[in-house]
A and B are shown apart, each in its own frame.
Chain A
Amino acid sequence: MDRHNKELLLGLLETMIKIRTFEGAVEKNFTLGHIYGTAHLAIGQEAVAAGAVGALKPNDLITSTHRGHGHCIAKGADLNLMMAEIFGRETGYCRGRGGSMHIADISGGNLGANGIVGGSSGIAAGAALAAKKLKTGQIVLCFFGDGAINQGIWHESVNMASIWGLPVIFLCENNQYGMGMKISRATNLAKLSDRAKGYNIKGATIDGNDALKVYDSVAELAEQVRSGQGPVLLECITYRIKGHSLRDAQKYRPEGEARKWLLQSCPIERFKKYLLAQGKLNDQEVAEIEKRVSDKIDEAVSFALSSPFPDTSKVTEGIYA
């Protein structure tokens, strides 16, 4: 059985390159002064978003985090609307009211990035409760970082999902740092997935920089979760190549650590190498993907730059339904 057809493999690669290139453009445009607030980049973590969301059905749901561009892109978001939102424009997903940390596309199944660490775990469990009650067959993929795993709401939501058998994949994107705090200073666990034992649910830890491993693991777990076996906890070990936000001097981690990860475990380079070695990809195709993605991102930046800023006289629109 070949569960990894070429279309799927190239699709995963393209999504990862899209995330990397998008984040690069965000960083560049912040430096150029086009971005007012801040953003949290997922460079180095592309395999988690691409692999995990890639393994879902199109109508499945996700909840995301403050570092959510990758999740959003993997879920099929419109890059123009995303970029415009980060640029604070009226044409953005949230009409410039949300910014990078609050991009959502409810109708597209993205229940929203969240500026509160752990803040979306309850929402994920609730969406899963609704999916179960309404018998929609959807499952919910709840992204959160290692920093969220010590938040009360996280524990409470996992417990709730466990006792009610809710269809949630709690996916811990362990990028090693909660802002500036190394995870080993924040918990006494070698594996964060051991927390699953406390809720009598299945837990696993995998290499989150291996796109195919993430895809396969989530695909398998999604099947279990969808069949009514209750929630699971999947820890994906990855690394945050950039600082916490665009405004981080990174004094808390050893110099060279990020470079070492990028050289030795860049998820995109690893996946490319694997595909080339397997003969499922050639240099020509890589160049085509990179060109296509780069054109799309350029278009998104142009769209954002040429979009109007929101009308301040309408600032209070959208508070109440």
Chain B
Amino acid sequence: MRQISYAEAIRECIREEIKKDSNVFMLGEDVGLYGGAFGVSAGLASELGEEKIMDTPITEPAIVGVAIGASLLAMRPIVEMMFSDFNMLALDQIANQAAKIRYMFGGKARVPIVIRTAGGAGIGMAAQHSQSIEALLLHIPGLKVVMPSTPYDAKGLLTSSIKDDNPVIFFEHKLLYQVKGDVPRQLYKIPLGAGDIKRKGKDVTVVATSFMVQKTLKVADKLAGEGISVEVIDPRTIKPLDIDLIINSIKKTNKAVLVEESCYTGGFTCFLSAEIMRYAFDFLDEPVLRVTGLDCPIPYEHNLENAVIPDEARIEAGIKEVLGLIK
């Protein structure tokens, strides 16, 4: 199959959705003439017009506010929030407005917006441009939270996100943009709430999100050479969450390692480990083990940065610990 990058897969989806549905448009900081800070929308403004790919001032709350207002008139805006950290500026609009409007209006309104946003560390952008804040948004009822880890998933999940009638936070990862993979030319949907087994295995279940899926797959490859069979599960959307897929895997392997880039305290995997305890306690041979970022802002210098986020060695050590191979 044709291979394209994660960024190209997202661009292709945006282009096709805008062409197909006159209610879809994108807005954000430097998404037009500049082509997006990570080049995701490169060329789209000249191809589709600046009415469809709208440059906004640097004004995050108003960007989200405007998207919400347009969605109330049945449009389907896609916001590009350049860095996931910038969602903090717009948190009132995201959490108090977009997420709440439907419920507080008695289930009578729809807010079909997608906020695409680049999360994660790994390119030396330091503390205010590198965070993984999905757990903050996971906590807010009314939002859906999507975290694709491959080009194929990115395109299919974005298609579903645009068509979804709820506000969707779509976390892209800076280190994934150039990753290539098989992507069909036509549009296709991956349902929100359907996880994926990225690698089949029998000895241990590793649940990972976003770029951590890629790292975990490398570790699984390596461990296969040592005779260890790792099952790698990517939930793909952490809200809604395909808990059955994860529980069924753990019932088979009896061991669980959870890997995420965000901080140790209050991350998505805290919630996930409680769910595993609830639904698979009797199947666990070992306590669930979490491999996460440190409770530390993302530092600038390369080695410091690597020290904060989980690397392959830490993921491998976590797996071996659960398997009783190291203490």
Contacts and interface: CB of A to CB of B under 8 A. Distances in A.
Contacts of B101: 104, 112
Contacts of A152: 61
Contact of A97 (B61, B103, B165): B103
A70 interface: no
A69 interface: no
Contacts of B66: 122-123, 125-126, 129, 157, 160
A223 interface: no
Which of B66, B96, B97, B165 neighbours the largest number of chain A CB atoms within 10 Å of its CB? B66
Nearest to B107: A318
B248 interface: no
Given A122-B93, A159-B62, A317-B107, A130 B68 contact: no
B285 interface: no
B69 A130 contact: yes
Given A102-B104, A106-B105, A319-B102, A127 B61 contact: no
Contacts of B64: 122
A129 B166 contact: no
Contacts of A94: 104-106, 108
A98 B70 contact: no
A115 B73 CA distance: 21
Interface of A: 63, 92-98, 102, 104, 106, 111-112, 114-116, 119, 121-131, 133-134, 136, 140, 152-153, 156-157, 159-160, 163, 317-321
A96 B107 CA distance: 11
Contact of B51 (A102, A133, A163): A133
B103 A126 contact: no
B243 interface: no
Nearest to B106: A94
Interface residues of B, number: 41
Given A121-B65, A153-B61, A321 B102 contact: yes
B109 interface: yes
Contacts of A111: 69, 72
Given A106-B72, A122-B62, 5 more contacts: A93-B106, A119-B96, A122-B65, A318-B106, A318-B107
B56 to A, nearest CB: 7
Nearest to B60: A156
A122 to B, nearest CB: 2
